[in-house]
Amino acid sequence: MALSSATKRFLGSILHNRLLSSSFTYTDSRCDVGGGGLAIFSRSFSAEVSSSSNQMNLIKQLRERTSAPIKDVKAALIQCNWDIEAAQKDLRKRGKVLASKKSARTAAEGFLALAQTESKAALIELNCETDFVARNDIFQHLALSLAKQALLVGGASQQGAEPFQVGPENLEDLKLYLEHPKISGETTVQNAITEVAAMMGENVRFRRGFVMSTSLNGVLSTYLHTSPQPGLGRIAGILTLEVEDGNSQLDALQRVGSELAMHVVAAKPLFLTKDLVSSEALASEREILKSQAETTGKSQMAIDKMVEGRLRKYFEDVVLMEQKFVMNDALNVKTLLNNLSNEVGSPVKIGSFFRMEVGEGIQRLEESSASEPVAQVV
């Protein structure tokens, strides 16, 4: 049966009113029956939000204090019932255990740290596993602190002495005072390294150090390459200039000394003079050059001349005094020093030089156990 338009409108109105009434009744019923429960739920929810906020603040504070991974921070707080002081102690204990486990892993990244006075310089190498940790300010603070300590240890050295090595065995039991917001106070060198390793989650290793002094009339010059802040770098050059007249022009000596320290980093000399080239190195190079010359099929006399000519080139490559000056290749270092001697009015010579680079000699494959060479020292 067809319904008229008026009838449809009437039935639609009734249906709409019933649905609306049912909705209001349901809503009112919820409010009447669950009003108290809703209030309880509201209070409970507010308490949970407050508790959660406090926990997040504790996680943030402990993370700022220790720099430990967030998951470790949270686990320590939960285990210690959200007692931040107890959790911090727990993290330190856990970190030291993990640090000892990681001590066998290869650490070939890091920085060289330099501390110096007018007459003495100490250079140390602190290694880690990744460049990411090397850029961390806690790691860098430790490296600089170790260099300052090495400079104090080297205090007994005589002026003008050759560079001498300061290894872990010389420093690890000494007191070290740290002044970083996240790691401060007095501890031993070894404990400081272990604690930083625990905070960084990597093997951190003090590999080696050297101290160099100059004579009373000498000038000590240093240069750090790839330096993120004063006192840190990945390659270092240290050089002493000695002058007979103590009243010579200090500015000129310091200028040339700084340029030569940069030269040492760039040119990688192995020996100061030709006379100091070891007989083993010379014999090995001569044998190589002779084998190369013999492949030409020329006479023995011609071969001998070729070997001597190529030996001169070898000396220019590895002997500091024979090298072309990197800032002006029209001069060699010997001529540069002669010009400096004329400028200051007194003979000037290089007392000693030293070059060191982060990670040199470290096999980056875990399975290699090759011995590490010492830095180049003359």
Question: Average pLDDT in the 6-17 region?
Answer: 51
Phi-psi region of 62 (alpha: psi -120 to 50; beta: other; left: phi over 0): alpha
Q: Is the dihedral of CA 339, 343, 349, 351 positive or negative?
A: negative
Could you tell me which residue, 26 or 107, shows the higher pLDDT? 107
pLDDT in tens, 334-354: 999 999 999 999 999 999 999
Q: With the CA atoms of 220, 221, 224 and 225 taken in that order, what torsion angle do they form, in degrees rounded to the nearest 10?
A: -150
Q: Is the dihedral of CA 289, 291, 296, 302 positive or negative?
A: positive
Q: How confident is the model at residue 37 (pLDDT cuts 50, 70, 90)?
A: low
Which pLDDT does position 13 carry in this prediction?
58
Q: State percent of the chain over pLDDT 90.
A: 45
Q: How confident is the model at residue 370 (pLDDT cuts 50, 70, 90)?
A: very low
Which pLDDT does position 32 carry in this prediction?
43
At which residue do the structure tokens 């967030």 appear?
70
Could you tell me which residue, 64 or 305, shows the higher pLDDT? 305
The mean predicted confidence, pLDDT, of the chain is 81
Residues contacting 135, CB < 8 A, separation 6+:
228
Strands 120-128 and 218-225: unpaired
Determine the Cα–Cα distance for residues 275 and 294; give it in Å rounded to an integer: 27
Query: Strands (DSSP E) along the chain, which ranges?
Result: 109-116, 120-128, 164-165, 175-180, 183-188, 205-213, 218-225, 232-233, 235-243, 324-325, 328-332, 348-357, 376-377
At which residue do the structure tokens 């065995």 appear?
169
Question: Average pLDDT in the 203-222 region?
Answer: 92
Determine the Cα–Cα distance for residues 148 and 237; give it in Å rounded to an integer: 18
The type of residue at 360 is E
- What's the Rg (C-alpha) of the chain? 36
Select the highest-mean-pLDDT range: 186-200, 239-253, 258-272. Answer: 258-272
Angle between helix axes 189-200 and 137-153 (nearest 10 degrees) is 170
Determine the Cα–Cα distance for residues 42 and 337; give it in Å rounded to an integer: 85
Q: State percent of the chain over pLDDT 70.
A: 75
**Is residue 89 scored above 50 in pLDDT?**
yes
Residue 353 contacts residue 269 (beta carbons within 8 Å): yes
**Is residue 371 scored above 70 in pLDDT?**
no
Distances (CA, A) of 134 to 111, 125, 371: 7, 12, 24
Q: Which tokens is 328 given? A: 């002006």
> Looking at 85-94, 121-130, 138-147, 230-239, which range is the least confident one?
85-94
**Is residue 154 scored above 70 in pLDDT?**
no
Select the highest-mean-pLDDT range: 36-45, 222-231, 275-284, 298-307. Answer: 222-231
Distances (CA, A) of 246 to 139, 219, 243, 344, 369: 40, 10, 7, 10, 49
Phi-psi region of 206 (alpha: psi -120 to 50; beta: other; left: phi over 0): beta
Angle between helix axes 5-66 and 70-79 (nearest 10 degrees) is 90
Which pLDDT does position 26 carry in this prediction?
38
Of 354, 362, 164, which is closest to residue 270 (Cα–Cα)?
354
Of 346, 341, 278, which is closest to residue 315 (Cα–Cα)?
278
Which pLDDT does position 199 carry in this prediction?
84
Which pLDDT does position 366 carry in this prediction?
44
> For the whole prediction, is pTM greater than 0.75?
no
Could you tell me which residue, 375 or 86, shows the higher pLDDT? 86
